[in-house]
Structure 1
Amino acid sequence: MGGESAETAQGERAHFRPAEAESSGGTFPLVDERRTELDPRPRIASIKQSLVQIKQLLAFYLLREFSRDAARGAGFLCLPVLLAGGAAVYFALPREPGTGALVLTIAFLTLLTWLSRRKLLLSTPLAAVLVFTVGVGAAKLETLRASTPMVGSDVTTRITGRLVQQERRADGRIRLTIDILETERPHLSYPPDRVRLTARDVPADLRPGDGVYGLVRLMSPSGPVRPGAYDFSFTSYFAGRGAVGFFMSGPERVTLDTPAPLLSYPARWLERMRGALAERIRSRIGGPEGEIAVAVITGFRAGIPEEINEWLRRAGLAHILAISGLHMALVAATVMVMVRAVSALFPGFSSRVPVKKYAAAAALVMCTLYLCISGAAVAAQRSYVMLAVMLAALICDRAAITMRNVAIAALVIVAWSPHVVVGPSFQMSFAATAALVAGYAAWNHWRQQRATRRPPPEGSLPWRLTRYGLVFLVGLSATSLIAGTATAIYGVWHFQRVTPLALPANLTAMPIVSVFAMPAAVLAILSMPFGLDGIFLKAMGQAIAAVVAIAEWFSTHSPVDAVGLIPLTAMLSFTGALLVLVVSTTWLRLLALPLAAAGVVFLAMRQLPDVVVTEDATLVGLSGESASLAVNRTRPNGFTMDDWTRALAAGTVVKPTNVETGAPQPPNAEKTRFHCSEDLCLARHESDALVAHAATPKAARAACAGADLVVLDDAVTTVPCGPAPAATLVTKRDLAHYGSAAIFFEENPSAEGSGKARITFAITKPWRPWHAHRAWSRAARGLPPHR
């Protein structure tokens, strides 16, 4: 009965109606329990409360980890990152920022940062923005300081100048850097200050500082061979070179009436010493090994055969040629080991004086000498500054290998030469160094913790030797793996290539370089004044020959090389992940995971160009089936083709088929190929788009009706296809203004567009200072070539 009563009562409550409650007087609240159980509002409120708690907890932990990183000096490590970021943004801007606006912005941000200095949450982001803007201002100042006059159009003239540097190339020609003093027949109103010219031969007694005279062909530095490629104009502008070219007759050695500036005498003496040193090395070693030794010691790399260069690049050993941190570190280590080893022979002396500091000072002197005789290239300067900071810290009883020292070196370099931040040398060098320092710090921390828990076993002498050998091998492997991983993204971004066998190649070759080649080079330099350098240079040559053999073997067995272009967003995402890993020492390193994942997503979304066109409108490349690249010329430029095949991940180059008589017919072959007559080339893309390259307006008009893209190698006629052409037209004048082009064929073109081709140019207008000379070319002015 009790059960029935309870069940009856529950049913009555469940079926109770508001009307019944009102009729009964409404003396208790009306609640429908089934509706209460189904009502989501309490559950949503609980979830919201949980999310708020999670958010608060996450904010607490993030703030705590940020505070820990800040206490360890992460804020200082961010300074070169912000400064370099500002410089990079300046060079990527579509137009030149005003000097006055930059000065006012920096002054305003400085005032705001000073006024908010007591409010940490406000002053910190303001200070970050200020440093970033200072980076923009530093890049602007460097651009104004350079102000390099550049030749706008090709011209033949006779020059009188002073030789600055000469370098022997692998093809037997001589490359000369000359300061121009006078031009004649014709006289140039705005001549460049410095040029780089090649000559078949030079007088035997010609030395840096001598006067030269000859008939030369001057050409303006070209832009990128495709959008995003290496920009010769940019590099020449900041190197102070306003033209490139070659001697048509000469050069002849002449006596100059104008005396050389007094400050140029040390540089002239140094260049003569470098030239003499290079010739001495060639006489002792000879062959390709001698040219590599010359490159490693004096910095002259033009004499290395291209085949060996390619072997080293494919094997991941090209860093051996560039005088960078590796060479500076090996020189410093060799000198320090020698000084400490010699001092150990005199116990009384070594017990009274700090030998370690003297060894560091001697290493700093030797590295300074090495910087001078190597030509003080940008990479060498950067490596020297970094190593000088570390050796100075060692002399001052500070830790030598720290991220703070890397940051100091980066600050000095970016402040003095901001344009290097967009180059591969700066990015790859500091990425590798920062990653290695961070890895070394993590390993050192782990080793100290392990030593406190369990001291290392003593063991017998063979066991200790085996253990040291294994530690050396593991350390070398870790160094190669960390540095290779950190620099891989920049190698792909700048060169579109990977080196899958770089780790075993470096494990095989680097001990030879570290133990034999570089110590022999140091001993050769030290013994050269006494005439005892021959044996050391021979040993260095044998070591280099072994490295070349290793590079050849790994190059021929490398499974992959070119990987194609990657998006800028992917490169920036991977860079952000790397910065988080090397700057942070807390759990904030986990933030690198989503950044790396975003980089992978952007990488998967990449789109390679369908067509590429050079800035002189003479060469067109069309991506085809089976990773092929079809071109419209039987003998295309080698440098351009090397870049295009890597950028488009093309394994084969398809040359055109020439049509003997009549105009070529639109091709429908399975494999993309240009079919060319005298004035017109046609090729069909995989998307069924028809691409035409026309040498004359008449040929372009014949192709306009059926083609989707027409490239016209003519700067005079701008609209050969009529006022509203069905095809997308790119003329020689367009390319003279905007540089090389990359074209993408849209699958679903807009009805409002002119065709289905989307064009990306390498250069934007208004021109930046390093591209302003393009306005004076004949093609940019709509003039035919000079005859």
Structure 2
Amino acid sequence: MQVLHLMGIEVRATISTAASEPSERGFFVYDDEEATYDAWSQPGQPRGFLSSQHVARLLRWVAHQPDAWKRAWQVEWSRGIGFLTLPPLIGGGAVVYFLLPFEPSILPLAAALLFVGVLAWLLRRRHVWHLACLAMLALLVGGALAKLETERKSTPILGSPIATEVTGRVALVELQESGRTRLTLDVLSTARPKLRYAPERVRVTARQVPDKLLPGEVVRGVVRLMPPSGPVRPGSYDFAFQSYFDGLGAIGFFLRNPVRAEGAPAASSSQSLAQRVERLRMTIADKIRAVIPGASGEIAAALIAGVRAGIPEAVNEDLRITGLAHVLSISGLHMALAAATIMGSMRVLFALFPGFSARYPVKKVSALVALAGTGFYLLLAGDQVAANRSFLMVAVMLTAILFDRAALSMRNLAIAALIILLITPHEVMGPSFQMSFAATAALIAGYAGWKQWRLNGKRHAPPTNRSPLSRLTRYVAVLVAGSVATSVLAGGATSIFGAYHFQRISPLTLVANLATTPIIGILIMPPAVMAVALMPFGLEAWPLMVMGLGLDLMLGIAHWLANRSPMDAVGIVPASTVILFTMALVLGCFTTTRMRLLALPFLVAGVLTFAMRQVPDLYISEDARLIGMPTADGQIAVNRTRPNAFTTQDWQRAASAMTLVKPVDDVPADNDPSGNFLCKDDVCTIKHPLGGSIVSLPEDGDVKAYCGNAAVIVIDDATANSSVCRGKRSKVLTKRDLAQNGSATITFDKKSGEAIIQHALRRPYRPWHDHRRFSREARGMAPYKRKPRDPIAKLPSRKQSTVDKRAAEAVSTSGSAPPSVLAP
């Protein structure tokens, strides 16, 4: 190894022992993975001098780079890069399908699959073209799987809000923090009115439910049902999409408390099994709450039984701010700790029987018991992506132990991803799938790289004659370093997805995870596993008490850090940024040679697209009632005194606005320095520095009075004419426009001041938005109003004749009928 000072930069190069005699690969020295260039300098030449020999050798090095990249690709291919890239390609095909502006037919997809498959077979001898065809084939497979899942679901979704009497079988009972109970019902029948296109499953809340209501029972009650809403702004979370694939056709609330119903048909075998599981989860959650009160008990119920509805919102917010929200979902950490606890306990138990341990492979038996235990844990956790992914990873790892194979590898992660994509490809659009797989891939790649670095560096084992204090210090240092590396790797890999879906990051996530990881690994998860194991014997109290102590410590740390955390909103993250960062993550995690350098251009491009993002100047809700405008001082002004909290919080995070400014009614808009909406007689106005004024009109507002003067006019009326200001500068959005196309954002052109409108939805509708066609607002109809009831017309015929006779007598004697008789 020699050193060359080239223009003040120290460059190290590996010098071939026979530089004058090139090897069969050229003037390069190869190792196991990639090529390193030959000598830059000759002995005896002065440092800092760039001779012709240096230039010649540099040119030969550059000319030989294609061969080095080819060598690196061969190494990657031999290590299984083709199989590892299958999940990203199939998932990418599913993403393309879900983002298409139209619904593709299954026949063109099948034809494209057949054509690309035949083309890949014909080009099998041309490596590059063959790989390109295989990649395209994987993308098409992902799209076809997503299409098949969409057709398989075909969830009927309610088209318009309505009140009806519902008789349904209870599928899920959730106790909420507010004291209400949320029921998921499989609809059996509807009445008064009877719905012709009734949803199959609804989720409704009630103030009070029958005592000891259990899944499987049938209830009846009058409910107000509403279809799931669309995104609150373009690119945000789509409730209708998730409801479609969850099988939920409507949400709502009971107008009167439900009662038990009799004479319902028997449940199917699959429903009966699901009901037994739900009853078991409820029983376990009740036993946990009996020992651990308050928020800690609710989190313990979430960790063990997957019941999360009762967690206070303030606790949820503390965990989100500090980056500890992953603790609430049964993810890889919990599943791995459960498997390790079960397997370790079994091996300790077998160690008490030396004869059995000497005869049988106790490690494999312990792995088999751990596999069964984690399967039961998954059953309790419910249908969650993180739990499914974690179980599949742990199951593959434990199965590998049974067959004497490597337990933890990137291949296991790819198998778990493939299984989930084959069964539920729509999960690729959600934050749980993206963040859980990104974190796991980064951890596997990071620790594999560290292990390779140690092997290449020929690190020696530490001396064995260390003192006990030195050993303890080293152990603590390694533990802390491992926790820091885990937090940095997982947090860095998931931050972009969290920022895209939630428009927020956790500045103190590293500190929070370092402080709570030992608590979770020692005081929370092992006692949780022991409590479940001892629960059939009624001995779960003491491990639950230890678990409650650990949860109290964790929540105390989270609350303390949340109060000291700086602003966590990052604003809107463009989809192009997420795509580029994902490609960089895939290349950086799945490759092991110089191919990792290919991730750098995507990383740089992702940073540039984020820096060049365009933030909207105006947000409009899909019901045409709420408007939000970010102001120059980091606030967001709204036109309603009691706005929807979920919508405004999403807008605040998207606009990186800390404060919400309510409208006023006593300050002239022309002299308003604070940027408030000025509202008078339900007409609200505000001025924007670039686009003039924005006006919100009620149902009977005079639109023509504002044409030409206002830049944007939003009318809370589905019957209004959106072309009333045609030919003028004003852009008009009616309730019908927003009902058809979803919520909107408006960006003003900095030069012309013209308003550019972007809606959340596009037509023709995809299957999860097709129900929007049937709403009254989308059809341009006014809200439904009940006709006033006529007490005379509603009376029975005999009583009606008596009333008519009394009215006639009153008219004949006084010349006019009493108002009490004739008034409707």
With the length of structure 1 as denominator, give the TM-score of the two structures. 0.90
Partner of 2:209: 202
Query: Of the candidates 686, 690, 693, which is equivalent to residue 689 of structure 2?
Result: 686
How far has the Cα of 1:699 moved from its partner?
Answer: 3.3
Is the 1:217–1:246 contact (alpha carbons within 8 Å) kept by the matching residues of 2?
Answer: yes
Amino acid at match of 1:134: V
Change (3 A) 1:116 1:51: farther
Partner of 1:17: none
- Alignment partner for residue 707 of structure 1, among 710, 732, 749? 710
- Residues 673-710 of structure 1: CA deviation (Å, up to 9, x unaligned): 10001231000123252111111353333222311111
Is this contact kept in 2: 1:692–1:709, CA < 8 A?
A: yes
Greater mean deviation of Cα atoms: 248-257 or 740-749: 248-257
Q: Number of aligned pairs?
A: 731
Q: 1:554 aligns with which of 547, 552, 561?
A: 561
Task: State the match for 1:244 in structure 2.
Answer: 251
Partner of 2:142: 135
Determine which of 732, 757, 763 is the counterpart of 2:755: 757
Q: CA separation of 1:645/1:204 partners in 2, compared to 1, >3 Å: closer, same or farther?
A: same
In structure 2, do the counterparts of structure 1 residues 153 and 55 end up closer, same or farther at CA, with 3 Å as the change threshold?
A: farther
Query: Helix, strand or coil: the match of 2:205?
Result: strand
Q: CA deviation at 1:63?
A: 1.4
Residue 318 of structure 1 aligns with which residue?
A: 325
1:634 and 1:166 map into 2 onto residues whose CA distance is: 34
Greater shift, 516-525 or 447-456, is seen at 447-456
Indicate if the aligned counterparts of 1:616 and 1:732 stay in contact, CA closer than 8 A.
yes
Match of 1:332 among 333, 339, 343: 339
The whole-number CA distance in structure 2 between the counterparts of 1:658 and 1:721 is 28
Give, in whole Å, the separation in 2 of the partners of 1:637 and 1:719: 25
Partner of 2:261: 254
Rounded Cα–Cα distance in structure 2 between residues aligned with 1:452 and 1:352? 37
Moved more, 615-624 or 52-61: 52-61
What is the CA–CA distance in structure 1 between the aligned matches of 2:492 and 2:385, rounded to whole Å? Answer: 23
- Across the aligned residues of Structure 1 and Structure 2, the Cα RMSD in angstroms comes to 1.8
> Match for residue 735 of structure 1?
738
Q: Is the Cα–Cα contact under 8 Å of residues 216 and 249 in structure 1 kept in the other structure? A: yes
Match of 1:295 in 2: 302
Question: Is the Cα–Cα contact under 8 Å of residues 690 and 707 in structure 1 kept in the other structure?
Answer: yes
Of 625, 630, 641, the match for 1:634: 641
Q: Tell me if structure 1 keeps the 8 A contact 2:162–2:224.
A: yes
What's the counterpart of residue 24 of structure 1? none
1:529 corresponds to: 536
User: Does residue 214 of the first structure (1) align with residue 217 of the second (2)?
Assistant: no
CA distance in 2, matches of 1:615, 1:322: 31
Contact 1:493 1:566 in 2 (8 A): yes
Say if 2:470 is the partner of 1:470.
Answer: no
The CA distance in 1 between the partners of 2:313 and 2:561, in whole Å, is 17
Per-residue CA deviations over 1:749-785 (Å, capped at 9, x if unaligned) read 3xxxxx7100111001100000000000110000111
Matched, 1:489 2:496: yes
Are the counterparts in 2 of residues 221 and 232 from structure 1 also a CA contact under 8 Å? yes
**Conserved? CA contact 1:672–1:686, under 8 Å:** no
Q: Deviations over 1:332-353 (max 9, x none)?
A: 1111121122223333333332
- Give, in whole Å, the separation in 1 of the partners of 2:357 and 2:477: 31
Q: Deviations over 1:48-99 (max 9, x none)?
A: x999977753322221111111111111101111000000110011101111
Tell me the equivalent position of 1:695: 698
Q: Does the 8 Å CA contact 2:637/2:661 hold for their aligned counterparts?
A: yes
Q: Distance in 1 between matches of 2:303 and 2:128?
A: 50
Distance in 1 (alpha carbons) for counterparts of 2:362 and 2:671: 78
Alignment of 1:464-613 (within 5 A): 464-613=471-620
* Partners of 2:303 and 2:677 in 1: CA distance: 44
Write the deviation string for residues 247-302 of structure 1: whole angstroms up to 9, x where unpaired.
11121111233111122211111111111111111111111111111111111111
Q: Deviations over 1:19-57 (max 9, x none)?
A: xxxxxxxxxxxxxxxxxxxxxxxxxxxxxx999977753
Post-superposition shift, 1:666? 4.2
Distance 1:323 1:589 in 2: 32
| Equivalent position of 2:43 in the other structure | none
The Cα of 1:461 is off from its aligned counterpart by: 2.7
Show the counterpart of 1:34: none
Query: What are the Cα deviations for residues 528-567 of structure 1, in whole angstroms up to 9, with x where unaligned?
Result: 1111101111111111111000000111111121110111
Ranges of 4+ aligned residues in structure 1 off by more than 6 Å: 49-55
Gaps of 5+ in 2: 1-55, 786-824
Out of 729, 737, 749, the residue aligned to residue 726 of structure 1 is: 729
Query: For residues 94-136 of structure 1, what are the alpha-carbon distances to aligned partners after superposition, in whole Å with 9 as ceiling and x for unaligned?
Result: 1011110001111111112222223322211111100110000
- Distance in structure 2 (CA, Å) of the matches to 1:209 and 1:741: 42
The answer to whether structure 1 residue 280 and structure 2 residue 311 are counterparts is no
Correspondence for 2:417: 410
Distance 1:459 1:55, change over 3 A: closer
Counterpart-to-counterpart distance in 1, 2:375 and 2:460:
43
Aligned in 2, Cα 1:688/1:743: closer, same or farther, shift over 3 Å? closer
Alignment deviations for residues 596-629 of structure 1 (CA, whole Å, 9 cap, x no partner): 1111111111111110011001100001021100
CA distance in 1, matches of 2:635, 2:701: 30
Residues 725 and 731 in structure 2, CA contact (< 8 A), matched pair in contact too:
no
Alpha-carbon distance between aligned partners in 1 of 2:62 and 2:740, rounded to the nearest angstrom: 53
Tell me what 1:167 maps to.
174
Q: Which residue does 2:199 correspond to in 1?
A: 192
Provide the C-alpha distance between the structure 2 equivalents of 1:699 and 1:680, rounded to a whole number of angstroms: 10
The alpha-carbon deviation at position 429 of structure 1 amounts to: 0.2
Give yes or no for contact 2:158–2:226 (8 Å, CA) kept in 1: yes
Q: Which secondary structure does the structure 2 equivalent of 1:601 belong to? A: helix
Q: CA deviation at 1:373?
A: 1.2
In structure 2, the residue matched to 1:675 is 678
How many angstroms apart in 2 are the aligned matches of 1:507 and 1:311? Answer: 16
Q: Does 1:433 align with 2:440?
A: yes
SS in structure 2 of the partner of residue 564 of structure 1: coil
Task: Determine the C-alpha separation between the residues in 2 that align with 1:786 and 1:170.
Answer: 34
| CA 565–456 in structure 1, closer or farther in 2 if over 3 Å, else same | farther
CA distance in 2 between counterparts of 1:453 and 1:532 reads: 47
Q: Is residue 665–residue 680 contact of structure 2 (8 Å, CA) maintained in 1?
A: yes
1:494 alignment partner AA: H
Q: Is contact 1:215-1:248 (8 Å) kept?
A: yes
C-alpha distance in structure 2 between counterparts of 1:99 and 1:373, whole Å: 37
Output the amino acid matched with 1:747: K
1:68 to 1:206, Cα distance in 2 relative to 1, 3 A = same
User: Which residue of 760, 763, 766 corresponds with 2:764?
Assistant: 766
| Residues 325-334 or 681-690, more deviating | 681-690
* Identical-pair percentage: 48
